[in-house]
């Protein structure tokens, strides 16, 4: 099994439960890990035999552009799109972190992590 990963992809987006969050926006970090067994060995040096992390990054970019109330919804949408694009994945982990969330105290980030494994 192999894992491709994106760590700390940073975005400015408009996700949040409160209307002010959806109006003002804030910074987010997204981590994605995708486990899979390669279609073939890599001696042919063909990107079609792996999960292309550039395409995964583009999926995350597109989903971050759609304002949602819950970061859980964002993470789930990313997973759904990766599964649709790469049916051979064995596991996916997506973490979405909201930097400096609007709480009463100083908090570095709030986050959600969703783990996906296909049903057998």
Helices assigned H by DSSP within 1-120: 19-24, 53-64, 71-85
**Which tokens is 22 given?**
């959806």
Q: In the predicted model, what is the mean pLDDT of the chain?
A: 93
What is the distance between the alpha carbons of residues 60 and 54, in angstroms, rounded to a whole number? 10
**Which tokens is 19 given?**
């209307």
What is the distance between the alpha carbons of residues 60 and 79, in angstroms, rounded to a whole number? 9
Residue 83 has pLDDT above 90, yes or no: yes
> 46: pLDDT confidence band, cut at 50, 70 and 90?
confident
Domain with 92 in it: 2-116
Q: Which one is catalytic: 65, 98, 106, 117?
A: 98
As for how many domains the chain has, the answer is 1
High-pLDDT (> 90) share of the chain, %: 74
Residue 39 has pLDDT above 90, yes or no: no
Check which CATH number belongs to the domain holding 51 and give it.
3.30.1130.10
What is the distance between the alpha carbons of residues 56 and 54, in angstroms, rounded to a whole number? 5
98 is catalytic: yes
């Amino acid at each position: 099994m192999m894992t491709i990963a994106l760590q700390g992809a940073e975005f400015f987006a408009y996700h949040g439960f409160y209307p002010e969050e959806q109006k003002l926006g804030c910074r987010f970090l997204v981590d994605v890990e995708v486990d899979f067994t390669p279609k073939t060995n890599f001696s042919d040096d063909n990107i079609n035999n792996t999960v292309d992390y550039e395409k995964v990054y583009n999926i995350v970019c597109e989903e971050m552009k759609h304002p949602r109330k819950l970061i859980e919804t964002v993470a789930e949408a990313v997973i759904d799109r990766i599964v649709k694009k790469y049916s051979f994945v064995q596991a996916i982990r997506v973490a979405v972190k909201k930097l400096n969330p609007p709480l009463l105290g100083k908090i570095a980030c709030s986050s959600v992590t969703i783990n996906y494994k296909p049903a057998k």
